[in-house]
Amino acid sequence: MKQLSDEIILEETSILVSETDSLGHIVFADETFVTISGYTLDELIGQPHNIIRHPDMPKAAFKALWETVQSGNIWQGFVKNSCKNGQYYWVYATVFPFGKGHYLSVRKMATRTEIEKYAKLYATMRSEER
């Protein structure tokens, strides 16, 4: 993991995994997710997954995510997350229904080109939400 100003750049081999219940509360987080988020496992378990939501993320992106997975389908997309200390990181996320009423999220590094593309798109989407 490298740091670029307030941005944390994940390594190509980094995989972050978390599981939420039907209300979006974290019931599992792997060591990589815990480390990068800056929270302890105890601080994450039971909390809404949006504890790491970055304010730059448009509401419509998460609305689409939840509608997709709650209908039993897999969602994939780019997400900017916040760390406990105010830093942030971008990921390419795959979220899918897992078991009865649970959702598994597996995230990997987003490339600089993808980050630039989605940062612009999300800025446009946020301005339309206002």
Cα Rg for the chain, rounded, in angstroms? 14
Spans in the chain with pLDDT lower than 70: 1-4
Per-residue pLDDT tens digits for 15-33: 999 999 999 999 999 999 9
CATH number at residue 110: 3.30.450.20
pTM confidence score: 0.92
Number of domains in the chain: 1
Q: Give the burial string for 65-76 (b: 16+ CB within 10 Å, else e).
A: beebbeeeeebe
pLDDT > 70: what percent of the chain?
97
Structural domain range at position 8: 2-129
The phi, psi pair for 105, rounded to 5°, reads -120, 125
